[in-house]
Amino acid sequence: MIQKSDDIIIKTLARILVPFIQIYALYVIMHGHHSPGGGFQGGVILAASFVILMITHGIKKTQKRISEKAVAIFSSSGVFIYAGIGAVCLLLSGNYLDYSTLAKLLHVAPAEARSLGILGIEIGVGLAVMAVMFSVFFNISKGEDVEEDKKD
C-alpha cells in the first residue's frame, strides 16, 4: 500500500509539521485534566504524527525513527505505568487507583497527589495508545500475505 513517493511538497510539509504535532500531543496529554483531551486523545495525535511520517517518507525511514521493537517496549511500558500506579495505591492501603494515598509517598497534600496521580495515569495511557495505534497501522501497511488466506 505504501511506497516511496517523490513529491517534494508533501515531504517538506510532513517534515515541518511532525515536531509541532508531537508538541501538541504532549500538550493534550499534560492538560488532560482541565481541558478536552487526555491520555487517549494525546496518544492518538502522537500516533498520527508517525502515521504522517510513514505515509510521506516510506516504511524504512520511519523504522529508523521508531522500530517495531521500540513500539512493543512503549506499549508494554505504558500499561506497566498505568497498572503500577494503581498497584502502588493498593500497597499504600487504599483502593486501586485511589490517588490520594500517594500523598504519603510524594509528601504533598492529598488534592495535589490526586492531580499528580491522574497525570501519571495519562502519561501511561498516552504511551500505550500511541504504540498500539502505530503498530496496528504498521502491520496493515506492510501488506504481507496471510497464510490462512492462501489455504482456502
Partner 1 sequence: MNEFLLSIGMGLCILVFLILYRVVFGPGVFNRIAALSTIGTKTLIILLIIGFLYNRVDMFVDISMVYALLNLIGTLAASKYLETVGEN
Residues engaged in binding partner 1 (CB under 8 A):
1-3, 5, 10, 21, 24, 28, 35-37, 41, 45, 48, 51-52, 55-56
The answer to whether 148 touches 98, Cβ cutoff 8 Å, is no
Minimum Å gap between C-beta 22 and partner 1 is 11
42 to each of 27, 47, 68, 143, how far by Cα in Å? 8, 9, 21, 27
Minimum Å gap between C-beta 16 and partner 1 is 13
- Which one, of 21, 37, 18, 17, lies nearest residue 29 by Cα? 37
Q: Which is nearer to partner 1, 10 or 116 (CB)?
A: 10
Please name the residues in contact with 41: beta carbons below 8 A apart, sequence gap of 6 or more: 28, 32
Q: Cell triple for residue 94? A: 487504599
Minimum Å gap between C-beta 33 and partner 1 is 13
Q: Cell triple for residue 126? A: 498516552
Minimum Å gap between C-beta 106 and partner 1 is 29
Minimum Å gap between C-beta 18 and partner 1 is 11
The answer to whether 45 touches 20, Cβ cutoff 8 Å, is no
Q: Which is nearer to partner 1, 3 or 93 (CB)?
A: 3
User: For the chain, first and last CA: distance in Å?
Assistant: 23
